[in-house]
Amino acid sequence: MADRLFRGSFLSKTLSASCEQGQASMMPASRCPLPFTCQIPVHLRNFRLSLPQSPLAVCFVVGATLLLSLQSAVATAQTLPNIVIIFADDLAYADVNVSAEAGYQTPNLDRMAKEGRRFTDFYVAQAVCSASRMALLTGCYPNRVGLQGALGPNNKHGIHADEVTLAEGLQQKGYATAIYGKWHLGHHPQFLPLNHGFDDYFGLPYSNDMWPHHPTGGANYPPLPLIEGQKVIELNPDQTQLTTWYTERAVRFIESHRDQPFFLYLPHSMPHVPLFVSNKFAGQSQRGLFGDVISEIDWSVGQVLETLKRLGLDEKTLVIFTSDNGPWLSYGDHAGSAAPLREGKGTAWDGGVRVPCLARWPGKISPGSVCRQPWMTIDILPTLFQLVGVAQPRHKIDGKNALSLLLGDPESPTPHEALFFYWGNELHAVRSGRWKLHFPHAYRTLTGAPGTNGQPGPYHQGRTELALYDLEEDPSESHNVVAAHPDVVRLMTASAEKARQDLGDSLQKRIGRGVREPGRLAVHP
């Protein structure tokens, strides 16, 4: 416990002398009466010159100082909230808060909405796996930090060591941190979670379809690794057990850290295809395999909530549930629905980037409340850092503190003048208030029948010209009103120009001034 409280705290950053070294205490480490290596803060290094040259006297002062710091850290730990983020994969806007016609039920997600807050206009930064996760964990647009698309087993880059993750920041306040599920920010050891702020990791390093059984490209993939810590423990694991395994680990982690603040990141591999479900839920819904999978994810949410209640942690824990992007529409009956939103995963239309989001914290979040203000996954990091008192990263991030939207008045104004939607390095769209402006770009779309039974249907290339939509009146982005609102177009175009200067735009062959390199696989001679 002491190690946890000191790590990343004021003490660990200001200490430069220790009893073990003997320079400050003049006592061998074996004779120091403290139960852990004691390090002296800067102000004590100056003060010690006036102390009697007695080893016991020096150690007494050091010990008293550290014990006072420990007491302060314990008091702080008792007031810090636990944080749980549940991140589904390809779960679409209409896949939760469902009606009876959906063919499955989500009672635990419905409970989160009833007991917490539902966000109707919550966005991801890009509608694809790695890019979306990078935004969540770093507070940055993914093109700022050089991580695009969906990394696979042949990629030799990943998250840069200099990027500050949500887990790393929370560790500074003594949080225990764990991830159980899909990582997807690089699969080589230097990119894995334990090197980026997490104490424990169990899960897949990338998407569950990147294996030899892929329906169209299996020959391109090696066996799928299941990783614990830094070690591959199994190849091509039984995917029917993934949701159960992740959930069991999550419950044990909560139980093991009930007496200290913890951050649990639970990024499910489902309902990304290929769909798998355990025997507990197989055949239980009226929506086939997809409904069974959503039912099991809902069960997982329920297990987390039940554990928090059983341990008396309900009012001490913030739980956020959301998704990495919209539905993979080409998979038809194995994909969800973003209705009434347009298109799905892999596009900058709202069906791809606007996702379900729920937050629950009894006693802190008004039950049954609804927030209709636009905000984004990039805001999670700065918001939670503000909540627990962690300094914001020194390098530039794109997220804003949205604590008022999360905990305060749901009608509080959004912290953003504009939100930007890139596909790769192409700036496709910008949202400001009720308006969304699309710049001319190509995008993928289904024009024929989607696939069935796990086989994808073909995408075709669509194209939009400059188009403006009033999302309050036209959430499906179907009525272009660009000609009727030239002033809105002018202002939003000016905001987009600022983004291009900072982040670039390959559609205009622009390189941003504020972009950073991803991490690269170390090459040894």
- The Cα 454–Cα 128 span in angstroms is 19
Q: Where are the beta strands (DSSP E) in 293-440?
A: 317-323, 357-360, 369-371, 375-376, 419-423, 426-432, 435-438
- What is the phi/psi pair of residue 493, to 5°? -65, -35
pLDDT score at 218: 83
In the predicted structure, residue 18 carries a pLDDT above the cut 90: no
At 199-246, the pLDDT tens digits run 999 999 999 999 999 998 888 999 999 999 999 999 999 999 999 999
Q: Residue 522: its pLDDT value, please?
A: 81
Identify the CA nearest to 506 among candidates 442, 410, 436: 442
Please give the mean pLDDT across all residues of the chain: 88
Q: What are phi and psi of 458, to 5 degrees?
A: -80, 140
Topology of 421-520 in CATH? Answer: Arylsulfatase, C-terminal domain (3.30.1120)
pLDDT (tens digit per residue) in 405-438:
999 999 999 999 999 999 999 999 999 999 999 9
**Whole-angstrom distance, CA of residue 272 vs CA of residue 351:** 16
- pLDDT > 80? residue 366: yes
66 has pLDDT over 70? no
Q: Does residue 49 surpass a pLDDT of 50?
A: no
What number does CATH give the domain 82-136+148-382? Answer: 3.40.720.10
Give phi and psi for 429, each to the nearest 5: -160, 165
pLDDT at residue 11, rounded to an integer: 30
On the question of pLDDT at 73 being above 60, the answer is no
- Residues 267-278 pLDDT 10s: 999 999 999 999
Per-domain boundaries in the chain:
2-76, 82-136+148-382, 421-520
Quick one: what percent of the chain has pLDDT higher than 90?
Answer: 82
Whether the pLDDT of residue 72 is over 80: the answer is no
207 vs 187: CA distance, rounded Å: 11
Cα(44)–Cα(47) distance, integer angstroms: 5
**Quick one: which of 450, 128, 102 has its CA closest to 290?**
102
Which long-range contacts (C-beta less than 8 Å, at least 24 apart) are formed by 284-289?
285/103, 285/104, 286/103, 286/104, 287/102, 287/103, 287/104, 288/103, 288/333, 289/333, 289/334
List, by residue number, the catalytic residues: 129, 184
Which residue in the block uniquely carries the two structure tokens 């400050």?
A: 24
Contact between residue 428 and residue 394 where contact means Cβ atoms under 8 Å apart: no
Q: Residue 30: its pLDDT value, please?
A: 33
Quote the tokens at residue 128.
Answer: 């694809």
Between CA 216 and CA 285 the distance in angstroms is 28
CB 221 within 8 A of CB 227: no
Q: Are 82-136+148-382 and 421-520 the same fold in CATH?
A: no
> What are the pLDDT digits (tens) for 159-184?
999 999 999 999 999 999 999 999 99
pLDDT band at 77 (very low <50, low <70, confident <90, very high): low
